[in-house]
Amino acid sequence: MNSVGEACTELKREYDQCFNRWFAEKFLKGESGGDPCGQLFKRYQHCVQKAIKEKDIPIEGLEFMGGSKGKSEDSS
């Protein structure tokens, strides 16, 4: 599956490969320490956030992307 931003697709593939390798070779064998894919994920996340802004995709209510930071549910 491609990423939301065409420029992010290769980063997504790199992260997916890293995560899948870590999950199969480490996590499932009880070795959950470390975060070998963290830097790849941050680069991919930054690329996706940039693509979302460029495409003007509404992200209200998606806290994981920063859309609701600092807002309470009662504010309008």
Nearest to 3 by CA among 59, 36, 41, 32: 41
Dump pLDDT digits (tens) for 36-62.
999 999 999 999 989 888 888 777 766
Per-residue pLDDT tens digits for 1-15: 778 778 899 999 999
Domain boundaries, the chain: 6-55
Q: Which residues contact 44 (CB under 8 A, 6 or more apart)?
A: 3, 8, 11, 12, 14, 15
pTM, rounded to two decimals: 0.69
